[in-house]
Amino acid sequence: MLLLILPEVLAEYFQEKEKEIKAIPLLERLIRLEEELKALRVIEENRFSTTLREVDKRFEAVSQRFEALEREMQARFEAINQRFEVLQKDMDRKFEIMNQRLEALEREMQARFEAINQRFEALERRLNFMQWLITVGFSFLALIITIINFTKG
């Protein structure tokens, strides 16, 4: 009887031990897996913080370059503004000179027009005088012809 039960008992015993043997490595594997995950988390956190610091440094460098470019552009704009102011002053001066020349030309032309007007007025007076003289001359001739014809007749 013992021989009949012994193989069954031994089979059950080995099955339980086999389960325990399988369970022990599984627990050890789970513990190792958790430790590895924890180590990976620490490594990833370190990598992330390192990357974050590098990105911050890069952004800081970009910001400094941007500020330097902004200062350089501001200096260039100031130089351009100064050149424009100098050009504006020069143009104002030249326009003032041109205005003076145009005013002088205008005065000269006005004087010439006045002289031409005076000459035309003198010519008009002479033409009026000649018109009256011709009219009086023809009237006098007509009167003389009439008197001569009247005395003849």
Q: For 28-83, what is each residue's pLDDT tens digit? A: 777 777 888 888 899 889 989 999 999 999 999 999 999 999 999 999 999 999 99
pLDDT for the residue 35: 86
SS3 130: helix
pLDDT for the residue 145: 93
Domain locations along the chain:
8-119
pLDDT for the residue 96: 95
For 90-139, how does the pLDDT look when each residue is reduced to its tens digit (9 = 90+)?
A: 999 999 999 999 999 999 999 999 999 999 999 999 999 999 999 999 99
Sign of CA dihedral 127, 132, 133, 139: positive
End-to-end CA distance of the chain: 206
**Can you tell me the distance from the alpha carbon of 54 to that of 62, in angstroms, rounded to the nearest whole number?**
12
Place of tokens 């008992």: 9
**Can you tell me the distance from the alpha carbon of 40 to that of 50, in angstroms, rounded to the nearest whole number?**
15
Helix H or strand E segment including 44: helix 2-152
Which two structure tokens, joined as six digits, stand for 54?
Answer: 């590098």
Q: What ranges make up the beta strands (E) of the chain? A: none
